Structure 1
Amino acid sequence: MAVPKRKTSKARRDKRRSANSKLAAPAISKCPQCHEPKLPHRVCKSCGYYKNKEVIDAE
C-alpha cells in the first residue's frame, strides 16, 4: 500500500480542497412582461406574471 513520504501541509491541502468549492452565480432571465431580472421558472416579483399569466397581484 502506498504511504506518503512527507506530511501534506495545510496550505497545499486547503488549496486542493478550495478548487472544488466554487459557487456558481444563479441564472437570471428577463421577465417578458416588465423586463425586470428574475429567476427562471418563478413568478416575477415586480409584476406577478408567470408564463404570460398574472398569478399574483403585485403592486
Structure 2
Amino acid sequence: MPVQVSGWKTLPAAGDEVFEVESENLANRIAAQRRAEEVAQKMEVDAVAVTKKHEEHLQK
C-alpha cells in the first residue's frame, strides 16, 4: 500500500521493507549493522574475483 512519510534523512527504494523501531538510536544501530553486512558480502564477492584472477595469472 503506498504511503507518504516525512522526516526521513534518506528515502527507501520502491519495494523496500520499512520497519518501525522505538528510537532513532536503535534505527541507526540496525542501519549500521546492515551496512556492515553489505560490506562483508561485497568483500566476499571481491575475494572470489581476486582469487580467480590470481589463478588465471598463475596458469600463464
Q: Same fold (TM over 0.5)?
A: no
**Greater fraction of residues in helix:** 2
Q: Which structure is higher in strand share?
A: 1
- TM-score bracket for this pair, using the shorter chain length: 0.3 to 0.5
Higher relative contact order (CA 8 A, sep 6+): 1
